[in-house]
């Protein structure tokens, strides 16, 4: 961090000079023009009272803004972290500013413009007096907030408000605000903080967009070019890191808004940091795209990179469970969903500018509101005209990487069951060391969980609402995930420098059949000399009510290791088919790589071919049935060791541990099979439908798994381990029976 | 248990003889007559297709029964515990029998009568061949099921089916069924099991009603008299216990149905075992009351004991949280609610025979179904005719004991907050050692929990679905509750013989004011030589959004003791205002009385006047602020020690421990004060509104508590400790200020 202080001091000289030159020459443009347009406003006014969802959304923001106007203007001297008073107040201010601007345009009542103007004047008086924010934690401290990121949020929203009242202000007032507030503000988060502005990161996206938005309002092309293509020089070095441990600069890195579209978005519209951050970035991406489209259509932003910005909205909707919660991949906070304000905006814009896909209308109906602008009106009109059709989430693969060649996320869905299989790239500084990990959902409830992050966003009493140290010591570590840990050490030794150089490699993905949906991927860099190859299938048989998950994890190595495979089941354990010892006192399972946060609650021994674990979760019975080796250790764990501040949830886990082997295969079935009702007190199908699971063959070429059901049905899945093309012909004889097929896998039913 | 085996063998001789004499002389009565009547059926047929809720309820049972008819008749040889196949099948049979009978009457299709008849014939063939059930756990083993209780369930439902097809059967068929099945069945659960039949207990209620119902159908007055007044002789002794540890016989105990109304029901309609068992007993009480009313109106059963049976339905509805879940008092399984089938029946009957209270209709609307009979039609008609008005749950006291003089349950409600304060009697064998304990709910979510029971009802893999040993070692123990534990020993030494002789004593209850609702009670028998006096108030101040709970627990003793006051908060700990040590490994807090099930997760020291604990639960921030003593120990606990089978939930707790004192006062405030949204990520009012709490005075006559708020408002609550009448005049001078008032308490605002 110290390297930055000096660096920043040096930059400020430059900044002082730049200031004067960058004031835009007043130039008469039409306003508003960003998210509201003159024609849009006219149309909105004409439809007022006739479009229910628009009217109620308008009434909501009116009520909110009127209450704020009544409470007066509050522009406190910045002091607090997120969650604290000054932080929350400035955050509220920019949200209200934007809404007040919109109300002025739509309702044509001066009081809203006056409110915006007065608040801007208060900021223009305060801003020039501000040093950097007193909280020192950030690698890029803001002035209103503890980090430039939040200052950028402020400017993105404030720009829209400025656009709305632009014509209401006198030329002199505009000049004053631009000189005292907007231009210095834009310069501070760009020239003043190149380590923030000149990156490929969601932070920089906000920074770029903030500068771009105010540039568009002021018709300042210098700011716009900076926004689109970054600062020309930045003096950043390759060693620099942010306070999350992420790199600042990569050799040859392009920067600016376009670079932030190019790099983190895959051709499938997957954002490499994961859905939680994609949601966060969605707002600046789309609000700016809309503004750029409106003001500078020549950039053809919505067509850019094969329309990836529009595509990314549907991608993001597909990255949510049945009730709209985003899968908590990487540093994702659970509970964030497509009900967030960012998704309302993104969806409305994607609808208006993306061909008015009627499936989006059904999500907007669930959201229950629209943005109060051109896009929101279009959505509300579509709903009013009964054009909505259901948004169907299907099984799909979302490739990762700018070119789509850095692995991906495989999502397998069938009848309420959702399997999320992660074989993606590292995901920048918010990535976890969780190669080939997975999570399972049933009707929107987590069954095998991804822990998510160790942070309580904006809750001040938990570390100022910022990342907790347990995010590094636990949440990011491999053992916190449903994947293989070798020798109690995280993938890539838990080192970002290494992890960020590698992505897993997809073997195949096939979700065409209604009976089996399957994905397979390999990881050979997580541990040197060891290859992990996992194949996961979601299988539905007509004889049983629920689909089940079959997990085949093959490990091949050049040397002897210990392998741990954790299962973070959620719910209450009902029964096991093996015996285990329970320790008298609970000790941590290890000392590092996350093991220091696990208590050992029980240790079992294997004396059968299959072990099973039966549990109840949200009134559904599940069983995990696994193939076991004679020397396997079975560990019951509980999160919470070495967590004196109770930052972690006390969730259960189960680990299959195999010691002193080079190669290993872990096969397990995770199966919902019955229901319980605490009201009727009926337990239906409380026990597994699986009689046995067996590895029939496992070598370089093929792995064959046989599942026998309680009704004596037999399913055999054969996976082609080395030749996974769709066309390849295969033939293999197992137990004197010959199987012949084309493609990477074969499922037989008997 | 062994004493019973011999006893039962002896009884069987008598039984063989009794059989022949008890066959009813065939006598022509009108059928159906129990829950359906001839006039009722005519009315139902006339309204078919015109009463939506009735029609949909009818369609539901038709679909269910048609599927069963298609699947054929299954009457397996009894073998399993609850949760197992034969248990669940026989249970399903009686439910379907009853529904099929109803369908025959309403739809007038013979296939339903034929199905009922065929199944009865199968039972008539099987029953005489059956020994007692092979599972030996019960003190009163049944024949179809492991306990007579379930056999009685069978007969209660089967009687209704018999009533419905009575006229469809030939005289000869009836004679055969009665001789082979119904009479021996009724005799077995009565004469054959006096230790089951001749008790005051929900088990006996079912037994009495089963015999009474079949007696009514057959017009067999001998059975009816047995049902109403019990067996004349039973040879039971005072030492006998059931398998839950409950007494069988009390000296001078009246028995039979009337005794089972007289004794467990208080004049307020509170059933001493608690709402979970009241719900369970509600069905036989009301279904039999309805039948008795229809067939033998001369008993005036609905007027009996000041109409307590009708009153008890509203009482039970009031014993549920905002979303209808019953408070898990005593051995209550969480999740049981007024959506249960028993409550649908009870509510419909209470509506029809209890003056057609339109508030009940709103609950029926929530239930979404009605019973398919006379009562259900009345309810569905009321709803169709838009007569429903909201059922308002208010603050109320429910007195316990046959005469209402054995303490009670105080329920304080205000704006979504519900405080349940228990100062009742023991609650028979399902009672817990939890004198003066409480639980708190906010909008239907548990904030300070009552653990409930340690049982997974009907889930076979958990101890056959029966009570787990942790129910005794944990759930019933005092330390499992939010109340005082002296010297790490449960109330009454955890002895039922002692506990069942005492009830707490109400001091006062006042819920008239909208600002403060308050209840106060004393317990002087839980610990010899020690008196506990707890006053709990729910206070709402117009300056704050949420009401808060003030808890004043006074302990006075003749000798030195250790006092533990646990707080079973639910949610994630955010922050404390005191420091504490975290142990490296987790050990059990003690060795008995439930302490063996608590891990110690942290131990704090007090160096301030108030301690506070801030947590987040269901997106609401709470703070507990307590007055502390300099030597108090603060213990963070976690349930789950010595629980090798994972029978207990790993829930958190917090204990204030005070050592080596005679008298003590524990004052705490439990306060919701803010909200969090994982979607907007806004945290609002994350911190407590309380600046300080202080005991101004505490002596034999008065206890005065001063609360200072962050806005400098001051509230002072003065409790009159020894004179709690409404009329008494009080005057006390505290810190030179004189307070004067009438009644048991005074709240001043400054
Ligand atoms: Ca993770
Ligand atoms: Ca509830
Ligand atoms: Ca209890
Ligand atoms: Mg993760
Ligand atoms: Mg969900
Ligand atoms: Mg309890
Ligand atoms: Mg509830």
Count CB atoms within 10 A of the CB of residue A453: 23
C-beta atoms of A582 and B644 within 8 A: yes
Phi (first) and psi of residue B218, to 5 degrees: -85, 0
Q: Which helix (H) or strand (E) holds A5?
A: helix A2-21
CB B573 to CB A646 under 8 A? yes
Same structural domain for residues B347 and B475? no
Does residue B642 lie within any of the structural domains? yes
CATH code of the domain in which A532 resides: 2.70.98.70
Please report whether residue B80 resides in a domain.
yes
Q: Which residue among the candidates A112, A115, A139, A277 is catalytic per the annotation?
A: A277
Candidate from A340, A460, A646 with C-beta closest to B572: A646
pLDDT band at A18 (very low <50, low <70, confident <90, very high): very low
Which of B115-119, B450-454, B457-461 is the least confident region? B457-461
Task: Establish whether A527 is a catalytic residue.
Answer: no
Range of the domain at A381: 33-62+268-393
Active site residue ranges of B: 277, 430
Total of domains in chain A: 3
Nearest by CB to residue A680, choosing from B341, B462, B652, is: B341
Q: Is residue A702 part of a domain?
A: no
Give start and end residues of each alpha helix (H) in A251-303. 257-262, 275-295
Q: What's the pLDDT at B28?
A: 47
Quickly count: other Cβ atoms within 10 Å of residue A741's Cβ: 16
In a shared domain, residues A237 and A363: no
Q: What is the rounded CA–CA span in Å between residue B242 and residue B128? A: 26
pLDDT digits (tens, 9 = 90+) for B627-673: 999 899 999 999 999 999 999 999 999 999 999 999 999 999 999 99
Q: What is the spatial distance between Cα B259 and Cα B265, in angstroms, rounded to a whole number?
A: 10
Q: Which of B19-28, B380-389, B627-636 has the lowest mean pLDDT?
A: B19-28
pLDDT at A19: 42
Residue B272 has pLDDT above 70, yes or no: yes
Query: Is pLDDT larger for residue A246 or for residue A635?
Result: A635
- The arithmetic mean of pLDDT across residues B694-699, rounded, is 98
Considering only CB atoms, which chain B residues are within 8 Å of A457?
A: 678, 681
B129 and B140 share a domain?
yes
Cα–ligand 1 centroid distance for A432 (angstroms): 6
pLDDT over 70 percentage in chain B: 96
Catalytic entry in A430, A491, A561, A597: A430
Closest residue in A to B332 (Cα) is A678
For chain B, say whether A675 makes contact (Cβ under 8 Å): no
CA dist list (Å): A7 to A10, A13, A235, A640: 5, 11, 9, 41
How many angstroms separate the CA of residue A551 from the nearest CA in chain B? Answer: 25
Ligand 7 centroid–CA B314 distance in Å is 18
Among the partner-chain residues B341, B457, B679, the one whose CB lies closest to the CB of A336 is B679
Which residues have a Cβ under 8 Å from the Cβ of B410 and sit 6 or more positions away? B397, B419, B420, B421, B423, B506, B509, B519, B521, B536
Q: Between chains, do B678 and A334 touch, taking CB under 8 Å as contact?
A: yes
B366 and B400 fall within a common domain: no
Q: How does the average pLDDT of chain B come out, rounded?
A: 94
Query: Is residue B461 less than 8 Å (CB to CB) from chain A?
Result: yes
Residue pair A480/A456 in contact by the 8 Å Cβ criterion: no
Residue B327 alpha carbon to ligand 2 centre in Å: 9
Q: What is the mean pLDDT of residues B676-685?
A: 94
Mean pLDDT, rounded, for B399-409:
97
Q: Work out the minimum CA distance from B169 to partner chain A, whole angstroms.
A: 32
Inter-chain touch A339–B587, beta carbons under 8 Å = no
Residue B24 has pLDDT above 50, yes or no: no
For chain B, first and last CA: distance in Å? 64
Query: Cβ distance A122 to A158 under 8 Å?
Result: no
Of A372, A393, A414, the domain-final residue: A393
Q: How confident is the model at residue A250 (pLDDT cuts 50, 70, 90)?
A: confident
| CATH code of the domain covering residue B170 | 1.50.10.100
pLDDT of B592: 98
Question: Which has more confidence, A244 or B271?
Answer: B271
Provide the pLDDT confidence category of residue A28 given band limits of 50, 70 and 90.
very low
On whether the CB atoms of residues A581 and A612 are closer than 8 A, the answer is no
Q: For residue B19, is pLDDT > 90?
A: no
Last residue of a domain, one of B393, B410, B443: B393
Sign (positive/negative) of CA torsion A596, A599, A603, A608? negative
Any chain B CB within 8 A of the CB of A708? no
- Residue B101 forms contact with A (CB below 8 Å): no
Contact criterion met (CB < 8 Å) for B686 and A459:
yes
Selection from A83, A616, A462, A275 nearest residue B571 by Cα? A462
Residue A158 within a domain: yes
In terms of Cα–Cα distance, which of B631, B634, B635, B626 is closest to B661? B631
User: SS3 for A137-184, per residue?
Assistant: CCCCCCCCCCCHHHHHHHHHHHHHHHHHHHHHCCHHHHHHHHHHHHHH
Asked whether residue B219 is domain-assigned, the answer is no
The answer to whether residue B436 sits within a structural domain is yes
Give A685-742 pLDDT, tens digit per residue.
999 999 999 999 999 999 999 999 999 999 999 999 999 999 999 999 999 999 999 9
Does residue B12 register a pLDDT over 50? no
Name the residue facing B83 among A582, A599, A683 (closest C-beta).
A683
Q: pLDDT by residue (tens digit) across A138-160? A: 999 999 999 999 999 999 999 99
Q: Chains A, B: CB contacts under 8 A, how many?
A: 122
H helix intervals, B166-256: 171-177, 183-189, 194-197, 202-218, 221-229
Contact A585 B582 (CB under 8 A): no
Same domain, B298 and B407: no
Chain B environment of A636 (Cβ under 8 Å):
646
What's the pLDDT at A252? 80
pLDDT at A558 exceeding the cut of 90 = yes
Do A616 and B459 lie within an 8 Å CB cutoff? yes
Residues within 5 Å of ion ligand 7, judged at the Cβ atom: B 321, 323, 325, 444
What is the interface pTM, i.e. ipTM, of the complex?
A: 0.91
* pLDDT higher than 90, residue A9: no
Q: In the structure, how many helices (H) and strands (E) does chain B have? A: 19, 26
Between residues B138 and A234, which one has the greater pLDDT? B138
The pLDDT value given to residue B239: 76
Mean pLDDT is lowest, of A10-19, B162-171, B351-360, for: A10-19
**B213 located within any domain:** no
**Is there a single domain that holds both residue A445 and residue A572?**
yes
Chain B: closest CA distance from residue A19 (Å): 35
Residues B388 and B401 grouped into a single domain:
no
Same domain, B569 and B488: yes
Residue A324 is predicted with a pLDDT of: 98
Q: Which of A367, A459, A677, A687 to mutate to test the interface with B (most CBs of B within 10 A)?
A: A459
Report the mean per-residue pLDDT for chain A: 94
CB contact (8 A) between residue B614 and residue A678: no
Nearest chain B Cα to A591, which residue? B584
Nearest to A461 among B457, B574, B650 (CB): B574
Rounded to an integer, the average pLDDT of B366-388 is 98
In this structure, are B304 and B417 located in the same domain?
A: no
Q: How confident is the model at residue B243 (pLDDT cuts 50, 70, 90)?
A: confident
Rounded to whole angstroms, the Cα distance separating B355 from B372 reads 20
Q: Is residue B12 in some structural domain? A: no
Please provide the DSSP assignment of B507-526 as one string: EEEE---SSEEEEEEEEEEE
Last-in-domain residue among B393, B416, B441: B393
Residues B613, B495, single domain; the answer is: yes
Whether A529 and A455 have beta carbons less than 8 Å apart is answered as no
Which residue from B458, B638, B679 is facing A339, i.e. has the nearest CB? B679
B457 to chain A, minimum CA–CA distance in Å? 6
Rounded mean pLDDT, B523-530: 98
Q: What is the pLDDT of residues A609-642, one digit of tens each?
A: 999 999 999 999 999 999 999 899 999 999 999 9
Whether the CB of B60 is below 8 Å from some CB of chain A: the reply is no
pLDDT in tens, B115-128: 999 999 999 999 99
Contacts of B586 in chain A (CB under 8 A): 585-586, 599
Query: Is residue A189 domain-shared with residue A325, that is, in the same domain?
Result: no
Residue A643: pLDDT over 90: yes
DSSP B714: E
What's the pLDDT score for residue B230? 96
From A79-83, A117-121, A429-433, A487-491, the region with the lowest mean pLDDT: A79-83
Residue-wise pLDDT tens digits, B194-215: 999 999 988 999 999 999 999 9
Q: Are residues B670 and B534 in the same domain?
A: yes
Flag if B574 and A459 touch (Cβ within 8 Å).
Answer: yes
Tens of pLDDT, residues B480-510: 999 999 999 999 999 999 999 999 999 999 9
């Amino acid at each position: 961090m110290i390297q930055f202080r000096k660096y920043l001091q040096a930059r400020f000289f430059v900044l002082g000079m730049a200031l004067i030159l960058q004031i835009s020459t007043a130039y008469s443009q039409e306003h508003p023009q960003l998210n509201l347009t003159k024609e849009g406003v006219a149309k909105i006014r004409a439809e007022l009272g006739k479009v229910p969802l628009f009217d109620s959304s308008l009434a909501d923001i009116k009520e909110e803004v009127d209450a704020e106007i009544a409470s007066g203007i509050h522009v406190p001297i910045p002091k607090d972290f997120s969650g604290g008073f000054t932080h929350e107040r400035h955050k509220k201010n920019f949200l209200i500013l934007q809404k007040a601007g919109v109300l002025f345009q739509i309702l044509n009542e001066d009081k809203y413009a006056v409110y915006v103007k007065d608040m801007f004047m208060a900021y223009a008086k305060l801003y020039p007096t501000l040093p950097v924010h007193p909280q020192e934690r950030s690698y890029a401290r803001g002035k209103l907030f503890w980090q430039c990121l939040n200052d950028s949020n402020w400017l993105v929203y404030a720009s829209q408000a400025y656009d709305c009242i632009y014509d209401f202000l006198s030329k002199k007032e505009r000049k004053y605000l631009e000189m005292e507030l907007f231009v210095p503000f834009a310069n501070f988060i760009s020239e003043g903080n190149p380590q923030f502005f000149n990156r490929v990161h969601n932070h920089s996206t906000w920074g770029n967009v903030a500068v771009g938005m105010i540039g568009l309002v002021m018709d300042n092309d210098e700011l716009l070019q900076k926004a689109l293509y970054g600062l020309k020089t930045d003096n950043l070095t390759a060693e620099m890191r942010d306070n999350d441990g992420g790199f600042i600069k990569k050799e040859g890195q392009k920067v600016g808004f376009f670079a932030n579209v190019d790099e983190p978005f895959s051709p499938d519209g997957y954002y490499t940091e994961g859905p939680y951050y994609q949601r966060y970035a969605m707002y600046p991406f789309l609000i700016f795209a809309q503004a750029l489209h409106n003001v500078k259509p020549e950039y053809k932003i919505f067509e850019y990179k094969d329309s990836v910005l529009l595509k990314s909205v549907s991608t993001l909707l597909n990255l949510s469970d049945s009730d709209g919660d985003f899968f908590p991949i990487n540093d994702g906070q659970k509970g964030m969903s497509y009900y967030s304000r960012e998704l309302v905006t993104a969806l409305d814009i994607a609808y208006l500018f993306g061909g008015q896909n009627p499936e989006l209308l059904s999500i907007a109906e669930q959201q229950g509101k629209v943005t109060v602008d051109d896009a929101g009106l279009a959505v509300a009109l579509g709903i009013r005209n009964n054009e909505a059709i259901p948004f169907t989430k299907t099984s799909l693969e979302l490739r990762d990487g700018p070119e789509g060649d850095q692995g991906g996320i495989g999502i397998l869905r069938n009848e309420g069951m959702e399997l999320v299989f992660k074989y993606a790239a590292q995901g920048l500084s918010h990535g976890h060391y969780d190669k080939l990990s997975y999570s399972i959902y049933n009707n929107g409830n987590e069954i095998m969980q991804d822990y998510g992050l160790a942070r309580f966003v904006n809750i001040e009493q938990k570390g100022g609402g910022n990342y907790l140290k347990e995010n590094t010591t636990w949440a990011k570590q491999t053992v916190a995930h449903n994947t293989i840990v070798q020798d109690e050490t995280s993938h890539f030794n838990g080192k970002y420098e290494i992890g960020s150089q590698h992505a897993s490699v997809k073997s195949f993905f096939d979700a065409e059949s209604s009976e089996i949906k399957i994905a397979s991927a390999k990881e050979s860099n997580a541990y040197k000399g060891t290859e992990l190859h996992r194949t996961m299938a979601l299988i539905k048989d007509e004889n049983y009510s629920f689909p089940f998950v079959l997990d085949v994890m093959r490990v091949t190595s050049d040397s002897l290791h210990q392998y741990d495979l954790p299962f973070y089941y959620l719910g209450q354990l009902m029964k096991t088919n093996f015996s285990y010892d329970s320790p008298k006192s609970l000790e941590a399972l290890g000392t590092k790589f996350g093991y220091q946060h696990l208590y050992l609650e029980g240790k079992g021994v294997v004396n059968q071919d299959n072990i099973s674990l039966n549990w109840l979760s949200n009134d559904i019975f599940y069983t995990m049935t696994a193939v076991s080796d004679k020397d396997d250790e079975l560990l019951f764990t509980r999160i919470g060791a070495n967590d004196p501040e109770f930052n972690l949830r006390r969730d259960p886990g189960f680990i299959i541990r195999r010691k002193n082997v080079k190669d290993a295969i872990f096969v397990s079935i995770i199966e919902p099979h019955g229901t319980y009702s605490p009201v009727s007190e009926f337990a239906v199908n409380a026990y597994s439908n699986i009689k046995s699971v067996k590895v029939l063959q496992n070598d370089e070429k093929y792995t064959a798994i046989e599942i026998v059901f309680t009704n004596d049905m037999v399913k055999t899945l054969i996976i082609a381990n080395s030749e996974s093309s769709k066309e390849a012909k295969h033939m293999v004889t197992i137990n004197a029976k010959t199987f012949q097929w084309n493609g990477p896998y074969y499922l037989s039913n008997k």
